[in-house]
Amino acid sequence: MPRYAAAVTALADRLAARTLELVDIPSQSGKEAAIREHLLGLVPPSWSTEFAGDEAFLFASPRRAGVPLIVLAAHYDTVPAQGNLPGRIAERAVHGLGASDMKGGLAVAVELARDLDAAPATRDVALLLFGREELPAEQNPLPALFAGSRLVHETTLAVVLEPTDLTIQAGCLGNVVAHLTFHGTSGHAARPWLADSALERAVRGLDRIFRLEARSAVVNGLEFQEVVSVTRLQAGIADNVIPGEATATLNFRYPPDRDPADAEAYLAGLVPGDATLDVVSNAPPARVVDSPAVRALRRAGDLEIGPKQAWTNVADFTARGLDAVNFGPGHTALAHHPDEHVSIAALVTAYDVLHRFLTTPIGEDAP
């Protein structure tokens, strides 16, 4: 076997093995202790621990004056298992919980850090590992990182290794979670005419929301879709009681052409007069970044660029004036899927693109 082919095969085997190793460590959000400790043991010893907080850790190779800083960011938590643990390698892919979102990307980031420890990059590199990504915005550990870290504010570009099908996905949607409550009067189910069913009010009041069509918004040349979804409906206290209150959970995904206040005002405008709206959380969208560093990353793999039709932690960076994009080996359609998997070829490609970006001579993205 030619030397180059052997090297590619060895890299593929190593990335697949690392991904499977990470998949097999259960790490549902809020229960990440085991994988956190395992990952901390994989960081190159020569890299300094610049920040260690509550489920957020930033490690860096030695910093050089005037050299751009690239942050590789990956979360290590997953959604609950769906019969997909332990993982397995089959059909040239790693299967199992989190393989696509985003333990494949996590494996790529860790292996890059370990390899660059032996052969330093032309750009300075930091590794951001964090948990609780799959939980509501109020449990996000990254605000504490930005409050306590000096180094993160020197970021030239953060690459968040979310599943993107090997494309760059710029920006991201904002995410509002809200409770819409309909009020009536409870009563006996045998005499419903003496009650005022909140559930009936909810069914009628939600009809407008169910009929809403997606709104297209083009931001810096990328087309996002704005959508409002009803994800839960809760009502009733007993089988023989007409409910006096019914609460729907709304999930509103809004593009970067709205700010958080505008998003809440729009959602409030959809509320019927006999209902009340309570905003639970509002994670702002990320701006669409087109910088010299992003263009250098695109050149490293001749990458396509599109919008991120979801919320990701790129918003934590862009909200603070720092550039960030999503790029990873995972398959977007398979995130949170029962047969979640990531192809080994995609792992290799993501590694190669990022390695090329980090090690080629610095061009126009230099500060």
Q: Is 77 a catalytic residue?
A: yes
Q: What is the DSSP string of 207-242?
A: HHHHTPPPEEEEETTEEEEEEEEEEEEEE-SSTTEE
Residue 265 C-alpha from the chain's centroid: 25
Helix or strand run (H / E) with residue 244: none
Whose tokens are 């729907």? That residue is 248
Using alpha carbons, list the distances in angstroms from residue 251 to 41, 113, 147, 248. 38, 37, 28, 10
CA–CA separation, 175 vs 164, rounded Å? 19
Which residue type, as a one-letter code, is found at position 88? R
Coil, strand or helix: which one is 329? coil
User: CA 76, CA 130: separation in Å to the nearest integer?
Assistant: 6
Identified catalytic residue from 55, 133, 134, 162: 133
Sheet of 324-326, strand order:
48-52, 56-60, 124-130, 69-75, 157-160, 324-326, 168-170, 305-307
Marked catalytic residue, from 32, 50, 55, 77:
77
Place of tokens 């701006």: 287
Q: CA–CA distance from 63 to each of 122, 124, 125, 145, 147 (Å)?
A: 11, 6, 8, 18, 20
Catalytic residues: 77, 133
